[in-house]
């Protein structure tokens, strides 16, 4: 299923046939471009070797070429429609999916789309200054690839708002450009998207942990009975895979370089040799993992139970689950803190769906930590990285307000605060990382704190001119 590039807004949704919708989106487009100019990448470039979607089919959906960033063709691409797709879960299980928004679910669906939509431009804003300190042209290109695709994901959500939610939807689409990451007056909706991404270690951690949250949220919306939302998210997930790749291999390369320096100088204290010490890497993991866990919301939620029952939002890989997909009689075990101790409580599975999704996410996060530990072991080092306890440094859900150590002990506030600097990046850690961030814009060269990638992009070598400045 190919995409029509003859249009001002490339699309595979027959925009040419729907003049009202096309006009509405064409009037939003200049505001998007203005937002991109003001809030998008701060580093001026001539062109960037970018991947652009040209079809949405299983094979060969992407085309690679050097493109000036402002000319990137942001468009609206939905995965192919499956004939006879049926609702896979909830009280309408087995019935045909919806091509229109049912009136009784309008407000909830709109809210889900707005919350997802708000994260997409937020990450572009968070990352806008990173180009100024890119460790290589290869990394710079990957940053811009992530940025243009997050911009496109905004388009994806704005299309749904314009096409299916009338005047209110159009107003929400305006607001998506008016809120800004970290803004005092109108911040982004979710906490993690108001944090800074001030350095490249943070960027790799963000794309590993926070983009991965996005993957899981999109996975639940891909199951939606509202078919246009499902098809939109299905295609977004294909693009999202590259963002995970940037995070996973980015942290790989930091750990690789750190391990080399530890061996070469026979010390953990590699800061003076221009590397990022392993304990600082661990503190960054602790921070990014814990703020990303907050994105899953509270462990118990009647809203999420209602979304599931109504068919708005499913579970991760709903159709692969071996149960009745209604969960009206099912139970789940979730953690809680009671009288200073961690305990497990049994709850109706429907109200514990946030915890279910979070569990899938945690298992996925652990695979990266295993990779990084294999790299350390490969250098003959005993040191290991780990994921902190799910209750560590949390602001949302049952652990909020408690003081839990990375190894899962419930502490009093004083003890926790006294240890904070061993667990979370300190001002000095951040300053050390920041001081290492100097741009390397020469093809084939790389900053000293990170190893080069094993492969280039799309079969190109590492020393390819991925970006022309
Ligand atoms: Fe995204
Ligand atoms: Fe992403």
Per-residue pLDDT tens digits for 136-160: 999 999 999 999 999 999 999 999 9
Ligand nearest to the CA of 116: 1
pLDDT of residue 60: 73
Would you place residue 117 in the very low, low, confident or very high pLDDT band (cuts 50, 70, 90)? very high
Residue 348 Cα to ligand 1 middle (Å): 31
Structure tokens at 109: 């669906």
Judge whether residue 359 has pLDDT over 80.
Answer: yes
| CA–CA gap between residue 299 and residue 396 (Å, rounded) | 9
Note whether residue 9 is domain-resident: no
Judge whether residue 191 has pLDDT over 90.
Answer: no
Residue 329 Cα to ligand 1 middle (Å): 35
Residue 142 Cα to ligand 1 middle (Å): 14
Would you place residue 37 in the very low, low, confident or very high pLDDT band (cuts 50, 70, 90)? very high
Length of the chain: 469
Phi, psi (rounded to 5 degrees) for 439: -70, 140
- Check if the beta carbon of residue 208 is closer than 8 Å to that of residue 251: yes
pLDDT of residue 318: 97
Ligand nearest to the CA of 157: 1
Sequence-distant (6+) residues with CB within 8 A of 287 are 205, 393, 424, 425
Would you place residue 290 in the very low, low, confident or very high pLDDT band (cuts 50, 70, 90)? very high
pLDDT of residue 111: 98
Note whether residue 6 is domain-resident: no
Predicted model pTM: 0.97
- Check if the beta carbon of residue 173 is closer than 8 Å to that of residue 28: yes
Please report, rounded to a whole number, the percentage of residues in the chain having pLDDT higher than 90.
Answer: 95
Note whether residue 459 is domain-resident: yes
Would you place residue 6 in the very low, low, confident or very high pLDDT band (cuts 50, 70, 90)? confident
Note whether residue 8 is domain-resident: no
Judge whether residue 205 has pLDDT over 80.
Answer: yes
pLDDT of residue 324: 97
Would you place residue 196 in the very low, low, confident or very high pLDDT band (cuts 50, 70, 90)? confident
Note whether residue 361 is domain-resident: yes
- Mean pLDDT of the region 53-76: 88
pLDDT of residue 297: 96
Judge whether residue 2 has pLDDT over 80.
Answer: no
Judge whether residue 1 has pLDDT over 80.
Answer: no
Note whether residue 3 is domain-resident: no
| Number of domains the chain is built from | 1
Residue 74 Cα to ligand 1 middle (Å): 13
Note whether residue 1 is domain-resident: no
The bridge status of strand 410-411 relative to strand 331-338 is unpaired
- Mean pLDDT of the region 41-59: 91
| CATH classification at residue 297 | 1.10.620.20
Residue 208 Cα to ligand 1 middle (Å): 13
Note whether residue 181 is domain-resident: yes
pLDDT of residue 112: 98
Residue 196 Cα to ligand 2 middle (Å): 16
- Give the HSE-up count for residue 92: Cα atoms under 13 Å, Cβ half-sphere: 20
Residue 126 Cα to ligand 2 middle (Å): 12
Structure tokens at 230: 């499902």
pLDDT of residue 61: 85
pLDDT of residue 353: 98
Residue 215 Cα to ligand 1 middle (Å): 8
Judge whether residue 236 has pLDDT over 90.
Answer: yes
Domain enclosing residue 207, as ranges: 15-468
Mean pLDDT (the chain) is: 96
| CA–CA gap between residue 250 and residue 371 (Å, rounded) | 12
401-450 pLDDT per residue, tens:
999 999 999 999 999 999 999 999 999 999 999 999 999 999 999 999 99
Residue 145 Cα to ligand 2 middle (Å): 10
Residue 44 Cα to ligand 2 middle (Å): 22
Residue 460 Cα to ligand 2 middle (Å): 23
């Amino acid at each position: 299923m190919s995409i029509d590039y003859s249009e001002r807004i490339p699309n595979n949704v027959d925009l040419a046939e729907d003049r009202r919708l096309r006009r509405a989106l064409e009037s939003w487009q200049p505001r998007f471009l203005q937002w991109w100019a003001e809030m998008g990448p701060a580093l001026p470039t001539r062109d960037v070797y970018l991947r652009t979607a040209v079809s949405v089919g299983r094979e060969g959906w992407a085309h690679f070429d050097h493109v000036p960033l402002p000319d990137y063709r942001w468009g609206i691409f939905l995965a192919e429609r499956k004939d006879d797709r049926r609702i896979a879960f909830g009280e309408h299980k087995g019935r045909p999916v919806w091509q229109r928004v049912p009136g009784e679910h309008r407000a909830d669906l709109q809210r889900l789309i707005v919350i997802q939509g708000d994260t997409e431009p937020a990450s572009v804003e968070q990352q806008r200054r990173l180009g100024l300190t890119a460790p290589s042209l290869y990394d710079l290109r990957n940053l811009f690839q992530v940025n243009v695709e997050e911009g496109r994901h905004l388009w994806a959500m704005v299309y749904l708002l314009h096409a299916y939610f009338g005047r209110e939807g159009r107003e929400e689409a305006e607001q998506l450009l008016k809120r800004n990451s970290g803004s005092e007056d109108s911040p982004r909706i979710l906490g993690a998207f108001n944090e800074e991404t001030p350095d490249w270690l943070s960027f790799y951690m963000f794309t590993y942990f926070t983009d991965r949250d996005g993957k899981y949220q999109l996975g639940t919306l891909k199951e939606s009975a509202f078919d246009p939302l499902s098809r939109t998210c299905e295609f977004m997930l294909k693009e999202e895979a590259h963002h995970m790749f940037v995070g996973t291999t980015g942290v790989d390369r930091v750990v690789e370089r750190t391990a080399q320096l530890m061996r070469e100088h026979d010390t953990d204290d590699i800061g003076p040799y221009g590397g990022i010490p392993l304990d600082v890497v661990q503190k960054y993991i602790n921070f990014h993992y814990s703020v990303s866990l907050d994105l899953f919301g509270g462990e118990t939620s009647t809203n999420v139970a209602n979304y599931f029952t109504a068919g708005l939002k499913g579970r991760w890989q709903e159709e692969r689950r071996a149960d009745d997909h209604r969960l009206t009689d099912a139970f789940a075990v979730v953690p809680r803190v009671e009288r200073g101790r961690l305990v497990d409580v049994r709850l109706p599975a429907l109200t514990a769906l946030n915890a279910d999704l979070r569990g899938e996410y945690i298992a996925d996060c652990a695979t990266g930590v295993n990779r990084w530990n294999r790299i350390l072991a490969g250098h003959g080092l005993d040191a290991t990285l780990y994921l902190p306890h799910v209750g560590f440094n949390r602001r949302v859900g049952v652990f909020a307000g408690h003081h839990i150590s990375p190894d899962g002990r419930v502490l009093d506030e004083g003890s926790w605060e006294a240890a904070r600097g061993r667990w979370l990046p300190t001002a000095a850690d951040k300053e050390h990382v920041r001081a290492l961030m100097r741009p390397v814009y020469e093809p084939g060269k790389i900053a000293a704190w990170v190893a080069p990638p094993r492969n280039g992009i799309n079969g190109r070598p590492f020393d390819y001119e991925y970006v022309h400045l």
